[in-house]
Structure 1
Amino acid sequence: MLVGYARVSTEDQSLDVQLDALKAAGCEKVFSEKLSGTTMRRPQLVQALEFCREGDVLLVTRLDRFARSSVDLHIMVEQLMKKCVGFRCVEQGGIDTTTIHGELMLGVLGAVAQFETKLRSERQREGIEQAKRKGVYKGRRATIDPVAVRRLLDEGKKPVEVARELGCNRASVYRLAG
């Protein structure tokens, strides 16, 4: 049985292109979700991995929809291989663990995907540092009103009560109070 898994990072993104590609590839069952790929709390992915049985093949459209690090990729593929389940990428045809060449390609592309993720993070960090030096980047806007914090503390409320009332973290109240 061909089993599909589709994922986008945010709620406002569409799964349609991936779902169409997986159905066109012959998937009889498809699991999908709208969650960040960097989190391991992806219930539909867990269900897809558990659903697959010996002889099945799990299909994804691209590796980055399945895993963001080579460690995660290899752990999940190892899990599938222990169950005698294949793994294949629809848009990256060389990735097919049912062949020896596909296993090699999987390792190479997994490493490239992890490299790209780290490179993107590094560029973002460099951009933020440059913006800070120019005085453009000042961080995220405050979501807690310091005047409201001060007023509630002056009324005799404890920081825990202020945090609960304002819907923020207790540490934020302490930071603003100090």
Structure 2
Amino acid sequence: MKARYNRISTANQNLERQLVKQNPDEVLFNDVVSGSVAFGERTKGKELIDEIEAGNINYVVVSSIDRLGRNLFDIVGTLEYFNSKGVVLRVDNLGLESMVMGKVNPTFNLIISVMANVAQMERETLLERQKEGIAIAKAKGVYNGRVKGSTESDAEVLSKYKEVVKFLKMGKSLRDIKSRCEVSLGTVQKVKQILSKNTVLS
């Protein structure tokens, strides 16, 4: 059975662009989640994996590779999982399939790796520009940042950065988690401090 996986970041975005090439025989899995969340941690991503494990899905279609994720590590990991299960991944805007005649398509792997790398670099560049813009605004005295007194509780921080918590509990390094979750090193350290404090208190 075929499946089409779609993802939008927020509920006010439109899925129509991703459904242009939809076929009637495709079962839809529509996620509303940030691309920074690992595929296996998404609601519909999990459901799709369950269907693959049950042997119900052997062909998955996405409109573009960034629907699977923004992080090269996650994209490659998801692709390797599909390959291990004999599931063909088709990317509409490339017109390519991950497997041909039951064998991994090396051309597909090469192109996906290059595109995922470019997407990751573009996001890192965007984040760097945001930091530069904030620094300039601060220098001019026009940056307000968080409203004074509106600090987040420990529970809110842990809930907000569930992926960071997961990798910390797995024993991953701070810099590795920073890269995987696309957050600042300071954020990872903050979450770690909260976890350590809660452990001591408990």
Common topology (TM > 0.5)? yes
- The number of aligned residues is 146
* TM-score, normalised via structure 2 length: 0.64
Residue 82 of structure 1: which of 71, 81, 84 is its match?
84
Rounded to whole Å, the distance in 2 between the matches of 1:30 and 1:143 is: 44
Paired with 1:88 and 1:140, the residues of 2 have a C-alpha distance of: 43
The percent identity for this pair of structures is 31
Alignment map for 1:139-158 (pairs within 5 Å): 139-142=145-148, 144=150
Per the alignment, residue 195 of structure 2 pairs with none
TM-score, normalised with respect to structure 1: 0.72
CA distance in 2, matches of 1:47, 1:55: 11
Go from structure 1 to structure 2 and tell me whether the alpha carbon gap of 1:27 and 1:117 turns closer, same or farther (over 3 Å shift).
Answer: farther
Structure 1 residues 113 and 127: alpha-carbon distance in aligned structure 2, compared to 1, 3 A threshold:
same
- Cα RMSD after superposing both structures: 2.4
Q: What secondary structure is seen at the aligned counterpart in 1 of 2:90?
A: strand
Amino acid at match of 1:19: L
Pair 1:3–1:86, CA change in 2 (3 A): same
Match of 2:34 in 1: 36
1:110 counterpart = 2:139: no
Q: Cα gap change, 1:55/1:15 in structure 2, threshold over 3 Å: closer, same or farther?
A: closer
**Cα distance between partner residues in 1 of 2:25 and 2:72:** 25
Q: Cα offset for 1:68?
A: 0.6
Structure 2: gaps (5+ residues):
100-104, 156-202
Give the C-alpha shift of residue 27 in structure 1: 5.1
User: How far apart are the structure 1 equivalents of 2:51 and 2:111?
Assistant: 25
Letter in 1 for 2:107: H
Extract unaligned runs of 5+ from structure 1.
145-162, 172-178
Cα shift at 1:74: 0.8
- Structure with the greater alpha carbon radius of gyration: 1
Kept after mapping to 2: 8 A contact 1:49/1:80: no
Contact 1:131–1:137, Cα closer than 8 Å, also in 2: yes
- The partner residue of 1:68 within 54, 70, 73 is 70
Letter in 1 for 2:30: S
Query: Is residue 18–residue 61 contact of structure 1 (8 Å, CA) maintained in 2?
Result: yes
Q: How does 1:91-102 map to 2 (within 5 A)?
A: 91-93=93-95, 95-98=96-99, 99-102=105-108
Q: 1:143 to 1:30 in 2, by over 3 A?
A: farther
